[in-house]
Amino acid sequence: MATFVPSHTDHERAWHVIDADAQVLGRVATVAARLLQGKHKPRYTPFLDMGDHVIIVNAKQVRLTGRKEQQKLYRRHSGHQGGLRERSAASVRARHPARLMEQAVRGMLPTTKLGKAMYRKLKVYEGPDHPHAAQKPTRHEVS
């Protein structure tokens, strides 16, 4: 008996909507990363992009626990000496509220070409509206 190995054309991509209003950032990010990778499907294959599309709405109202709003730092480096830039979560939320969610989900995906393909299927919106109604997304609850 041969082992069944699915190909990248053997699956349907569904669309999911996650409402992040008053939800904890990490909880929402883990659910989204799991859906993007396709780990919720019975035919999950680690070396194929089997995941679905994920839409996250109300990213502006996501909650951070403890004192992370002031203490959590987002770092980036220009590559030059002294080029390290740090911002607190509060300042990132003030300028780009969706970026908190995008960075949290990106950190949970593989750091490969496959991970980049999974990340492209993530759509994050600050408010409750999104332009993907034609895809008939299903509502996904965060527990």
Give the CATH number for residue 64.
3.90.1180.10
Give the model confidence (pLDDT) of 77-129 as tens digits: 999 999 999 999 999 999 999 999 999 999 999 999 999 999 999 999 999 99
Report the distance separating Cα 77 and Cα 124, nearest Å: 24
Does a structural domain hold residue 9? no
**Nearest CA among 23, 32, 29, 25 for reference residue 140:** 32
Does a structural domain hold residue 2? no
Report the distance separating Cα 49 and Cα 114, nearest Å: 7
Does a structural domain hold residue 119? yes
Does a structural domain hold residue 5? no
Does a structural domain hold residue 8? no
Does a structural domain hold residue 86? yes
Does a structural domain hold residue 3? no
The total domain count for the chain is 1
| Residue 74 three-state SS | strand
**Whole-structure pTM value:** 0.92
**Cβ neighbours of residue 77 closer than 8 Å, sequence gap 6 or more:** 83, 84, 85
